[in-house]
Structure 1
């Protein structure tokens, strides 16, 4: 694999000199590169185009964010051969504690030992390194970096993309995995349901005195959720957690401008000592929180996946996992159709993919948005009502099972790649 066109076995050159492959994937991030690797395992070839330099994306300190990888998403990584690379780098989430402002009436989600963890926490940097290393070893992937598509043409006989340096790539199906600001989605004029939560997520990592015991904390305050997500101890044995602190847009600049000592004090006051004394383990980052959902995710020889199709509040940590479900469904639909002699851009296959994903994404995003609004209502009476409901969930095993299955990504019709 290289960052320029290479001719792989059993591929034909088009008259324009570009190597024709099954897929042209725009965006080589976590979702786009996972798609390329999952497709390659099924014998589906791809061009992957990304404007970024991979070295910049995996540089130390470039991205302090961490992602919760659900059980279903871990199955996907396992099934495409990444488990050996990733397993030593992820911290299991053995339980989740959910509380309304640390008041009485919390919910504890803890699966039975034989069921395994609720997921794993990974630094985004570690996920990227594993994906990029695997992609470099995969001949079915042609990786084009530090460039972008300046022209995207879709027609009855295939797709053609012109890169910034003039190279022409051709394929059967164009896949947009470009993130929330996807130009390909916008060019296709997909209607979006969208709104701004007028909040920002402040992201950092913390050292703390006490072990987190593989427990994730979701603490709801009227100003926004406050999440503590378990990470592996560092090389010196120091306990660590990822912090995602949601604050109102009007307060975000002040939070980011705080001296480190003041920021740590503010964070500690919201933790109520659950992890003991704390200090910063990584620089702060901040990003706006918005909702968007594409009414359609396919068009002629086009599929839209990941954040290009749907973006949500991080309250339940399902954003990346929903994108990985897109990957599993798309690969399964393409594989089954190609076995029948259909090409990847076939309209019937794309319609099946859209139908499969529409209900799942709508349900997950509706629940996430509802939780965001429910826990954002201030006042003693709404708080008491929430805690009453949480107490009911704590006492009813069937309800707890439902929410745990949702957190693990094991509900609904799962693609084969996301099953154990």
Structure 2
């Protein structure tokens, strides 16, 4: 089935309609930039109850973007503020607290991924400048100095002026373009699950470091009946990953309670568990002829700092700004000048964030007694140094560096 929108040549041809791809389509549309969004997934599957227990920390800067593109009001009721972050080494004395001053606002807010998807999908469905093509397989990608196109398996051909790779870590568009990728595997997995627990979390996010890796508890909004909820991100070695994933609920709860040491009281239930291999990857460049990479297609970082989506949204903000400013000068969206500006702006910032989170992982992932002492020494130093604490909090809020307009209040 073809419609008129399919046959139009649009400004952007966005391959991948996940959170980052859809945020780009919406942000661009609000500036009068049209797009085709092609995604293989079925949106009904992605938004059904219980499909995904994952939750994401949305930084202050990302929240400004949601406000600016008009989805904040929908999301507001599902937000859980992160008022402070407590960092400890195996819950031993000497914890590090990041608590902003009252006038500085929160360190971010937690949202269920399902709600983020619904907010973006519903806004995109109403936007005439977005032609959303779900459940579609791409069989051919074309790029030339004149434009770009994607051929679908049902024979449809969608055309644009700039191709965007937004398919995540395993981006086929990036690989086909021959963009090389530097990556290393941490030989660890993140196990993610929703928890209900007896004590309120008090809007504190916990990052508890163990020799095998960090164990994070992120505050979620209480259920309507007052049940307390949090999201668990537990890093285990690749060797232990399968065993932990296979544990029955009761045994799994016993293992996590042992590591929580009562900070949230008793764990009363655990939701569906998912696990992901951890790795770091960074591409040599994020642009090519009429092609821009956004989100995990260009850089995948360790989820220890929960910054993956926020980093992708910074790509979105920068790219949209570059395109809007380019259009004022009469430049075509795929003009090399636009791409060069985007490359320069985002290349360094995303690499610095990736490096910082990788550094954290290496400091916190060393499994020796000495590492534990070094960690506590380091945490004590940060605790006493307001400038360092402010730096970490600004990073968490996503407000450091050269920020795109869309991510400002």
Shorter-chain TM-score bucket reads over 0.9
Q: Name the structure 1 match of 2:262.
A: 273
Question: Residues 73-112 of structure 1: matches in 2 within 5 Å?
Answer: 73-112=62-101
Of 277, 291, 295, 1:306 maps to: 295
Can you give the 5+ residue segments of structure 2 that lack an aligned partner in the other structure? none
Whether 1:320 and 2:309 are equivalent positions in the alignment is yes
Q: Name the structure 1 match of 2:8.
A: 19
Q: Name the structure 2 match of 1:6.
A: 4
Whether 1:58 and 2:56 are equivalent positions in the alignment is no
Segment drifting more, 368-377 vs 280-289: 280-289
Q: Name the structure 2 match of 1:11.
A: none
**Contact 1:208–1:279 at 8 Å: present in 2 too?**
yes
Q: Name the structure 1 match of 2:244.
A: 255
Question: Residues 60-209 of structure 1: matches in 2 within 5 Å?
Answer: 60-209=49-198
**Pairwise CA distance, 1:47:** 0.2
**Contact 1:207–1:280 at 8 Å: present in 2 too?**
yes
Q: Deviations over 1:278-298 (max 9, x none)?
A: 122411111111111011110
**Contact 1:4–1:143 at 8 Å: present in 2 too?**
no
**Contact 1:4–1:144 at 8 Å: present in 2 too?**
no
Q: Deviations over 1:89-146 (max 9, x none)?
A: 1101110001111111211001111111110100000000000000011000000011
**CA distance in 2 between partners of 1:148 and 1:35 (Å):** 20
Scaled by the length of structure 1, what TM-score is found? 0.96
Number of residues of Structure 1 aligned to a counterpart in Structure 2 = 409
**Contact 2:249–2:270 at 8 Å: present in 1 too?**
no
**Pairwise CA distance, 1:188:** 0.4
Q: Name the structure 2 match of 1:374.
A: 363
Matched residue SS, 1:289: strand
Q: Name the structure 2 match of 1:364.
A: 353
Q: Deviations over 1:314-360 (max 9, x none)?
A: 11111111001000000000000011110100001001100000110
Scaled by the length of structure 2, what TM-score is found? 0.98
Whether 1:412 and 2:404 are equivalent positions in the alignment is no
**Contact 2:2–2:156 at 8 Å: present in 1 too?**
no
Q: Name the structure 2 match of 1:13.
A: none
**Pairwise CA distance, 1:305:** 0.6
**CA distance in 2 between partners of 1:49 and 1:5 (Å):** 14
Q: Deviations over 1:128-172 (max 9, x none)?
A: 000000001100000001112211111111111111111111110
**CA distance in 2 between partners of 1:83 and 1:4 (Å):** 33
Can you give the 5+ residue segments of structure 1 that lack an aligned partner in the other structure? 8-16
Of 307, 313, 329, 2:318 maps to: 329
